[in-house]
Amino acid sequence: NAGVTQTPKFQVLKTGQSMTLQCAQDMNHEYMSWYRQDPGMGLRLIHYSVGAGITDQGEVPNGYNVSRSTTEDFPLRLLSAAPSQTSVYFCASSYHRREDTEAFFGQGTRLTVV
Amino acid sequence: AQSVTQLDSQVPVFEEAPVELRCNYSSSVSVYLFWYVQYPNQGLQLLLKYLSGSTLVKSINGFEAEFNKSQTSFHLRKPSVHISDTAEYFCAANSGGSNYKLTFGKGTLLTVNP
């Protein structure tokens, strides 16, 4: 029962470097999303996707890109890392057919930008 | 825009004491409400949810929450907490529509002391 799998679990980047956070789900969920979690700020939506080929911006999209070429995968790309992007990143997925369905979260990626 | 307010950032209690974690939401339309729990170094898990019908919803581990439309609240309660309930609790809301976007509160850290 894999659920939502995020890799890597930890990452240290230098300012200006780029990287991709991976997210995969095996539940055939249409909806996938990326959040960042910062102390005292809760979870803030970065980008989301309602299906393959469809993505949209959330609350804090600047500095991040996403794509959704398959139902299973939803990678998050940091184009040029900045210290302000130091955070814990969570990927989530759910069915899109109804608003009341449960969102399943990955274990998170802890990113530090120095 | 939807907003969720968790009134307490930290709640320390002693084991076997009752606890209430407060959550208020703002919405002019019907809303679906959720409580998620995050144990240390883990992702978020759904604790309980209100969709419609009975205003009192319960989880399998003794938590309950009551939807109060007039007060726009969805407070989480447990009559007797255990050490293992120590975690961060997030209230979230989804006002429906064509996209499934959860808005989270900033979280309440519940610490249960012996």
Rounded Cα–Cα distance for residues A61 and B32 (Å) = 25
Q: Do residue A100 and residue B49 have CB atoms under 8 angstroms apart?
A: yes
Rounded Cα–Cα distance for residues A59 and B99 (Å) = 14
How would you write B52-73 as a 3-class SS string?
A: CCCCEEECCCCCEEEEECCCCE
Q: What pLDDT, in 10s, does the model give residues A24-71?
A: 999 999 899 999 999 888 899 999 998 999 999 998 999 999 999 999
What's the pLDDT at B97?
59
In three-state secondary structure terms, A9 is coil
**Cβ neighbours of residue B79 closer than 8 Å, sequence gap 6 or more:** B18, B62
Q: How far is B15 from chain A (nearest CA, A)?
A: 25
What's the pLDDT at A82?
97
Residues A31-60, buried b or exposed e (16+ Cβ, 10 A)? bbbbbbbeeeebbbbbbbbbebeebeebeb
Compare all CA atoms of chain A with the CA of B39 and give the residue at the minimum distance.
Answer: A107
CB contact at 8 A, B75 and B11: no
Structural tokens at position B28:
């002019």
A23, A41, A76, A94, B96 from A71: Cα distances, Å:
11, 30, 15, 11, 22
Compare all CA atoms of chain A with the CA of B41 and give the residue at the minimum distance.
Answer: A107
Rounded Cα–Cα distance for residues A49 and A68 (Å) = 7
Structural tokens at position A95:
């069915």
Which residue among A42, A45, A58 sits closest to B105, beta carbon to beta carbon? A42
Which residue among A4, A42, A96 sits closest to B100, beta carbon to beta carbon? A96
Q: Do residue B106 and residue A41 have CB atoms under 8 angstroms apart?
A: yes
What's the pLDDT at B80?
97
Beta-bridge partner residues of A89: A36, A109
Which residue among A50, A100, A107 sits closest to B99, beta carbon to beta carbon? A50
Q: What pLDDT, in 10s, does the model give residues B56-85?
A: 999 988 999 999 989 999 999 999 999 999
Compare all CA atoms of chain A with the CA of B49 and give the residue at the minimum distance.
Answer: A100
Q: What pLDDT, in 10s, does the model give residues A86-106?
A: 999 999 998 866 666 778 999
Chain A residues inside the 8 Å CB shell of B27: none
Q: What pLDDT, in 10s, does the model give residues B22-57?
A: 999 986 566 889 999 999 888 999 999 988 888 899
Rounded Cα–Cα distance for residues B48 and B61 (Å) = 10
Structural tokens at position A8:
């890597």
